[in-house]
Amino acid sequence: MGIVLQAAFLPETAVRAGRLAQLFPKHALPARAVNTADLPDRYRSPKLRRCVDFLAERVS
């Protein structure tokens, strides 16, 4: 048992399932930029595309 400070989207499923509890709901982490980089002439696999889309949707 312990306390952790992390982005809200990481433990979201466990909180909804009741396995974790949010202690300070009004406390928010400061915003941070998340960057991805790839080569423009390189094939982007569907897995990588889904990962980038997921990050853009959930983190921004």
At 22, list the tokens.
């949010």
Residue 28 falls within a domain, yes or no? yes
pLDDT greater than 90 at residue 20: yes
pTM (global) more than 0.75: no
Residue 3 falls within a domain, yes or no? no
At 14, list the tokens.
């466990």
pLDDT greater than 90 at residue 16: yes
pLDDT in tens, 21-59: 989 888 877 877 778 887 887 888 899 889 888 888 877
Residue 47 falls within a domain, yes or no? yes
Provide CB contacts within 8 A for 17, sequence distance 6+.
none
Provide CB contacts within 8 A for 15, sequence distance 6+.
21, 22
Q: How far is CA 23 from the centre of its chain?
A: 19
At 27, list the tokens.
């406390």
Residue 1: the pLDDT is 75
Residue 20 falls within a domain, yes or no? yes
At 40, list the tokens.
């423009």
C-beta separation of 9 from 59 below 8 A? yes
> 18: pLDDT confidence band, cut at 50, 70 and 90?
very high
Number of domains in the chain: 1
- The domain in which residue 32 lies consists of 12-59
